[in-house]
Amino acid sequence: MPLSKYRFIVVEGPIGVGKTSLARRLSERLGAAMLLERPEQNPFLARFYQDMARYALPTQLFFLFQRIGQLREMSQLDMFKSHTISDFLLEKDPLFARLTLSGEELHLYQTIYDTLKPQAPRPDLVIYLQAQSDTLIERVRQRATDYERPISEDYLALLADSYSRYFYHYDGAPILIVNSERLNFVRNDGDLDLLIERIAAMRGGREFFNLGE
C-alpha cells in the first residue's frame, strides 16, 4: 500500500467540495475501510436548512452523537489493525455550532462536546479540500439532494470561509491542503494518482497541492 504509514486518513472540506467522493475513491484504491458521515439519517437536517435558528441545536447534537458513535464502533473493531478513510474530523464539529448557535444553546453544545471529545482518535493525515464558494454552490446545485435545496449561497460562502480559517490554524495532525478547483478525483484516475503520489511524498506537517504546481 503506497500510503501504509497513514492508517487513519480524514478527508475534510465544506459542503460540495467532494470530500465523501474522494474518501470513497481512496478507500477503493487503497483497500481501506470507510467511515463516512450519514447526513440522510439526521431527522432534523432538512428542517435545519429551512429554519436554521430553530433546528440548529438538535441538528448539531444529532451529528455529534452520530459521529461519536461511529468512531466508538470502529475503535471497538480495532480500526488500527487496518487502514481507514473518513470524511469527517470530529475536532471540526464546533465550527458549525459557532456559525448557527449562540448564548445558552452554544454553551450547552460546547459542554457536551468537551465531555465527549477525548474519545475521538487522532488522524494520521488530514486532506483538506478547498474550493471557491461559487464552485461549491454549483456543485451543490448539480447534485440536487432534496434536503440541500434550501441552502443559501451566503451560508455556503460563510462556511467556506470558516473552514479556511479553521484549517489555517489546525495543527492536530499532518495536513495536506488541496486546491480542488481543477481536480476531479471521481472521473479522472490521473488526478487521483497525482494526489496519492503527493501524499506519499509528504515530509512536513503542513503541505499544499495545486494541479498547476
* Sheet with 33-35, edge to edge strand ranges: 33-35, 84-86, 8-12, 125-130, 175-179, 206-209
Tell me, what's the pLDDT at 187? Answer: 85
Q: Quick one: cell of 71?
A: 468512531
Is residue 87 among the annotated active site residues?
A: yes
Domains of the chain with bracketed CATH: 8-209 (3.40.50.300)
Separation of alpha carbons 213 and 211, rounded Å: 6
Closest CA to 11 of 47, 21, 3: 21
Is 199:125 a contact under the CB 8 Å cutoff? yes
Residue 127, Cα to own-chain centre: how many angstroms?
A: 9
Which of 51, 78, 87, 114 is the catalytic position?
87
Please state the pTM of the whole predicted model. 0.91
pLDDT tens string 59-83: 999 999 999 888 887 776 555 557 8
The stretches in the chain having pLDDT less than 70 are 1-2, 76-81, 118, 144, 212-213
Separation of alpha carbons 15 and 153, rounded Å: 11
pLDDT tens string 29-46: 988 889 999 999 999 999
